[in-house]
Amino acid sequence: MTTPTNNALTGFSDTLASAVAQATPALVSVNARTRLPSTGVIWRQGVVVAADHTIEREDDITVTLADGTTVPATLAGRDPSTDLAVLKIDNQTAPAQIGDTSAVKVGHLVLALGFAGGTLGASSGVVSAIGSGRSGGGQIEHILRPDLTLYPGFSGGPLVNLAGQVVGINTSHLSRAGAVALPTATVNAVVDQLSTKGRIARGYLGVSMQPVRLPDQLKASLNLSENGGLIIIAVENDSPAAKGGLLIGDILLSIEGTPVSDTNDVQSILGPNRVGQPVAVRVVRGGADTTVQVTVGERP
């Protein structure tokens, strides 16, 4: 006899299977390393997003489409700091349906899809946290932490909601604590830059810094709320910092009003949108609180 509980479970199970079916046509298997292939997503027409750490060679790359067709791919660019790579293919397969990551909340049920050894697989779980994270390139402002398993080959595959919409790209490479997913806004920004420039422009001041604690007497005399900052120990010749007037011994307190107490804080502020833009850098110099304008350069 069919019970209401069984009906509900069957309906829920069908919802999960429908989400997988909705997202699968835009999945590809990326053949760019000697061992098992990884997963990619057709993000836009002719544009595939994959996980950078799975791209072990830059030539002779192919992708296998969901229908089994294998086509050549060209590496348009890669960004290790977000673990994203962009491939170009000459194919008219429809791209994935991209969802709104801002609508995702902690506790929402999500699915990770990927090709494990060439076979389509899925893993389900909930979004356990939403926040920021750090990588080799600095701070990533927005990441999702899904509580699910990324099987071998799943990196670069999509995180999808119950409507089968892609709300992120999964990777096991950015966190030792488990899987993370980069939201669609981050992926779009990386795709835009890698498709047009082949690289991610990152802000650059041209200084060497180290954290320093502010003496209580200095804090009191300048009425500072900050406990510490970053002291400049070297300034590169002809760098943005040198042209803007930053000096060895200056203690950085904030950039554009955002406090800095760690070099990663600076990297986070100096994102691609800051390159070529003037920023207000607040420093303690010779016991005085002052602000200088520095035009951010692009990191060599």
pLDDT of 136 reads 46
Contact 49, 57 (CB under 8 A): no
User: Residue 172 and residue 244: Cα distance in Å, rounded?
Assistant: 40
pLDDT of 4 reads 67
Nearest to 154 by CA among 46, 60, 76, 41: 41
Token digits for 140?
């990533």
Catalytic one among 123, 155, 239, 254? Answer: 155
pTM of the full structure:
0.77
DSSP per position, 189-256: HHHHHHHHHSS---EE--EEEEEEEPPHHHHHHHT---SEEEEEEEE-TTSHHHHHT--TT-EEEEET
Contact 143, 156 (CB under 8 A): no
Q: What angle do CA 285, 269, 234 make, to 5 degrees?
A: 40
CATH 2.40.10.120 fits 1-200, yes or no: yes
Catalytic one among 83, 135, 173, 239? Answer: 83
CATH number of the domain at 203-298, out of 3.30.9.10, 2.30.42.10, 3.40.190.10, 2.40.440.10? 2.30.42.10
The ranges assigned to domains in the chain are 1-200, 203-298
pLDDT of 262 reads 87
Cα 291 → chain centroid: 31
pLDDT of 137 reads 47
Token digits for 251?
């203690």
pLDDT of 176 reads 76
Q: What is the pLDDT along the chain (300 residues), one digit of tens a residue?
A: 556 668 888 999 999 999 999 999 999 999 999 888 999 999 999 999 999 999 999 999 999 999 999 999 999 999 988 999 999 999 989 999 999 898 999 999 999 999 987 789 999 999 999 986 654 444 566 789 999 999 999 999 999 999 999 999 999 988 777 889 999 999 999 999 899 888 888 889 999 999 999 999 999 999 988 889 999 999 999 999 999 999 999 999 999 999 999 888 898 788 778 899 999 999 999 999 999 999 999 887
Catalytic one among 29, 52, 53, 261? Answer: 53
pLDDT of 35 reads 85
User: Residue 47 and residue 278: Cα distance in Å, rounded?
Assistant: 34
Is position 38 annotated as part of the catalytic site?
Answer: no
pLDDT of 273 reads 80
Is position 155 annotated as part of the catalytic site?
Answer: yes
DSSP per position, 125-192: EEEEEEEEEEETTEEEEEEEEEES---TT-TTPEEE-TTS-EEEEEESSS-TTS-EEEEHHHHHHHHH
Token digits for 242?
């040198």
